[in-house]
Chains A and B, each alone.
Chain A
Amino acid sequence: MDELNRLPCPILVTDAVGRVLLPNTDMLTLVGHDAAHWRQKSMEDLFPPAGRIFLQTHVWPMLLRENSVREIYLYISNAQGERTPVLVNCRAGEYEHQPCYYWVFFVAQERSRFEAELLKARAEAQRSADRLTQANAELEAVHSQLEQRAYNIEIANRELAVLSRSDPLTGLGNRRALSTAIKRWQSRSDSDALASVLLIDVDHFKAVNDQHGHDEGDRVLVALARMLEASLGPNDLAVRYGGEEFALWLPSADRTQAGIIAERVHDGVQKVSIEGMPITVSIGTATLGNCAGSALMQQLLELSDIAVYQAKAAGRNRTVNSMQAPSVERNYTDQAG
């Protein structure tokens, strides 16, 4: 079959079970040895083990069923064990009046390189995608850290806000807390609603500090703060207004109700004593309507301040309502003057 030798590719003829009948010249160039060496050998010997399995599990079943296979990708090994990638076509035919198979091989170095490049490029793309996924995960982690920090800062801010509205000694609110409470009430109440403020000043507090020391003075203030808190309703607010001055904010309380609270404070104060001596306070009250608008707080404080002054002037240990003459006020006790 010299015709086979003229064809420009490796060709192999095998019998029905794959025994080599004839390799052409190009085939021998590819795999080495001479034709006699290969004759009657199994064509499987041309392939590495993986190729043999592939032949048995894929190529032969198809060949036996369909009588041909096309474009099978395999590696062929030569005498030196070097592997050459090949594309294989095969078709059943006749050789010397016997059934046979014609195997045609196309050396596929280029395709192999091309595929390797393709695989490499794809692997690189996959790595990039993985890196992006990784980077994204890191970004998300950083983002959630930032969120956590923002949250912590928010908490700290709230704590600061509380601190800025409170008095460190007594834990009561300060003027700012009072202002906030009054504004909030104003925004939620009708214009004809009434509210009251009680301004409470400890009588002779300077003497307490001088005689018993500032620690004792502080103790009295803290005790007074607790007592004031205890005498308030749920919507009322006690704040430390100045050194020994407290203010009670009584939303929706009219003059009568303010008077009742004032009496309760005078009673309560008697339980706060210094070395067995109860202290006393002077109280000024003021009651105004929400119609006073933004000036409400200032007016309430001015009026109650005047009333406290009047209570002091009238002999202390008493309450003066800003609308009443000091003489109307009853004197609670006589211990302090």
Chain B
Amino acid sequence: MGHSGLDIIKRNNVHIVGDSGPVLMYAHGFGCNQKMWTRVTPAFETTHRQVLFDYVGSGQSDLSAFNVKRYSHLQGYADDIMEICDALEISSGVTLVCHSVSSSIGLLASISRPQLFQRLVLIGPNPCFLNHPPDYFGGFERTDLDDLLSLMDQNYIGWAHYLAPVVAGESLDSAVAGELSDSFCSTDPLVARTFAEATFYADNRAELPLVSRPCLILQHSKDTLAPLSVGEYLHTHLKGSTLKILEAGGHCAHISHPGLVVEAIKAYIADSASPGHETRAVWMS
């Protein structure tokens, strides 16, 4: 793609924690960045080489590398993951820990490059947020997702809209949002909206049967963004998957209940490293 490895490292604000052992790579969710993993990484510091990064457009990534076309689809974010591995000269053995929308991104990456990944850990995954009755209930109606975008507008994207010069054609200068609060992980309105639309309007159900790598599905016990039925759906359609339901409400167990997440990951790695492990569902309390 015309990028040197160093460019990619800088572009995606890649950080390595720990210098030996198998690779644990962490992919953050929508509206977040790599800082959200700080309560998980200490547990693997001595055993794993941990790779942290921000997607282009999130966190401290290089905003100038943002390309609306590429990042309008989750595959664009999956390409970020593969390019980072290439830059680090990692070609196999990766355990990819994904939060929320990154689960779909990680699955897409594993379809593109199965040999790169040993296993995936999916925290709060949802391959399709929209309801498709009668077979599938992602949790939301179209109007809910439209409302979400307007809510985002009103919370921060909108200010850039108010301030942006009136122009012929649809474009927003990213500099407009530069001075806005950085309390949200991505304050660039174009980036946030692009990522939001790619995330919430995605439907990756058809890709699930193409996944060949083993997956650990970590589901929250009460998660607005991923109803229990979604976890079941994923477990059914991802061959070789393991479903664990964490006794944790909300959508960010790795922040709110890091101990549970660490424990589950460690158990899964130990288990799948031993021969003869099988697909199953476990209720963790």
Which residues on A sit within 8 Å (CB–CB) of B256?
Answer: 16-17, 60, 64
Tell me if A330 counts as interface (CB < 8 A to partner B).
Answer: no
Contact A57 B30 (CB under 8 A): yes
In the complex, the number of residue pairs spanning A and B with C-beta atoms less than 8 Å apart equals 103
By secondary structure, the A interface counts as helix
Contact B249 A42 (CB under 8 A): yes
Which residues on A sit within 8 Å (CB–CB) of B151?
Answer: 50-51, 54, 73-75
The residue in chain A whose Cβ has the minimal distance to the Cβ of B163 is: A122
Which residues on A sit within 8 Å (CB–CB) of B152?
Answer: 54
Contact A115 B158 (CB under 8 A): yes
A133 to B36, CA, bound (A): 46
The 4 closest A-B pairs by CB, nearest first: A50-B147, A49-B144, A50-B148, A56-B251
Of A42, A44, A61, A70, the residue contacting B32 (CB under 8 A) is: A61
Of B35, B145, B155, the residue contacting A58 (CB under 8 A) is: B155
Which residues on B sit within 8 Å (CB–CB) of A274?
Answer: none
Contact B224 A129 (CB under 8 A): no
Contact B35 A49 (CB under 8 A): no
A56 to B152, CA, bound (A): 13
Of B31, B154, B162, the residue contacting A57 (CB under 8 A) is: B31
Contact A64 B255 (CB under 8 A): yes
Tell me if B166 counts as interface (CB < 8 A to partner A).
Answer: yes
In the complex, 13 of the A-B residue pairs with CB atoms within 8 angstroms, ordered by the A residue number, are A17-B256, A19-B249, A52-B224, A57-B31, A60-B256, A61-B252, A65-B36, A69-B183, A118-B162, A119-B158, A119-B161, A119-B162, A129-B166
A64 to B151, CA, bound (A): 21
Contact B140 A18 (CB under 8 A): no
A73 to B100, CA, bound (A): 23
A5 to chain B minimum Cβ distance, whole angstroms, is 28
Contact B29 A122 (CB under 8 A): no
A44 to B100, CA, bound (A): 18
A50 to B139, CA, bound (A): 11
Q: Which residues in window 105-155 of A have CB below 8 A to B?
A: 115, 118-119, 122, 125-126, 128-130, 133
Tell me if A32 counts as interface (CB < 8 A to partner B).
Answer: no
Contact A18 B249 (CB under 8 A): yes
A99 to chain B minimum Cβ distance, whole angstroms, is 12
Contact A50 B184 (CB under 8 A): no
Which residues on A sit within 8 Å (CB–CB) of B140?
Answer: 49, 53
A115 to chain B minimum Cβ distance, whole angstroms, is 7
Tell me if A82 counts as interface (CB < 8 A to partner B).
Answer: no
A122 to B167, CA, bound (A): 11
A65 to B255, CA, bound (A): 8
Q: How many residues of B contact A (CB 8 A)?
A: 41
Tell me if A268 counts as interface (CB < 8 A to partner B).
Answer: no
A276 to chain B minimum Cβ distance, whole angstroms, is 80
Contact A56 B224 (CB under 8 A): yes
A328 to chain B minimum Cβ distance, whole angstroms, is 85
Contact A72 B100 (CB under 8 A): no
A294 to B141, CA, bound (A): 93
A61 to B144, CA, bound (A): 21
Contact A53 B224 (CB under 8 A): yes
Contact B183 A66 (CB under 8 A): yes
Which residues on A sit within 8 Å (CB–CB) of B167?
Answer: 129
Which residues on B sit within 8 Å (CB–CB) of A55?
Answer: 224
Which residues on A sit within 8 Å (CB–CB) of B162?
Answer: 115, 118-119, 122
Tell me if A48 counts as interface (CB < 8 A to partner B).
Answer: yes
A324 to B29, CA, bound (A): 110
A66 to B29, CA, bound (A): 18
Which residues on B sit within 8 Å (CB–CB) of A122?
Answer: 161-162, 166
Tell me if B250 counts as interface (CB < 8 A to partner A).
Answer: yes
Which residues on B sit within 8 Å (CB–CB) of A18?
Answer: 249-250
A257 to B121, CA, bound (A): 105
Of A60, A70, A133, the residue contacting B250 (CB under 8 A) is: A60
Contact A129 B168 (CB under 8 A): yes
A122 to B256, CA, bound (A): 41
A43 to B29, CA, bound (A): 23
Contact B144 A126 (CB under 8 A): no
Contact B225 A61 (CB under 8 A): no
Given contacts A49-B148, A56-B223, A118-B162, 4 further A-B contacts (CB under 8 A): A60-B256, A61-B185, A61-B252, A73-B155
Tell me if A161 counts as interface (CB < 8 A to partner B).
Answer: no
Q: Which residues in window 114-161 of B have CB below 8 A to A?
A: 139-141, 144-148, 150-152, 154-155, 158, 161
Q: Which residues in window 219-264 of B have CB below 8 A to A?
A: 222-225, 248-252, 255-256
Tell me if A162 counts as interface (CB < 8 A to partner B).
Answer: no
Which residues on B sit within 8 Å (CB–CB) of A73?
Answer: 151, 154-155
A11 to chain B minimum Cβ distance, whole angstroms, is 21
A122 to B160, CA, bound (A): 12
The residue in chain A whose Cβ has the minimal distance to the Cβ of B149 is: A50
**Contact A17:B166 (CB < 8 A) given known A52-B224, A57-B30, A122-B161:** no
A191 to B249, CA, bound (A): 108
Contact B255 A61 (CB under 8 A): yes
As a 0/1 sequence over residues 65 to 109 of chain B, the CB contacts with chain A under 8 angstroms (1 = contact) are 000000000000000000000000000000000001000000000
Q: Which residues in window 1-58 of A have CB below 8 A to B?
A: 16-19, 42, 44, 48-58
The residue in chain B whose Cβ has the minimal distance to the Cβ of A134 is: B168
Which residues on A sit within 8 Å (CB–CB) of B184?
Answer: 58, 62
A54 to B225, CA, bound (A): 10
**Contact A65:B144 (CB < 8 A) given known A73-B155, A125-B166, A129-B167:** no
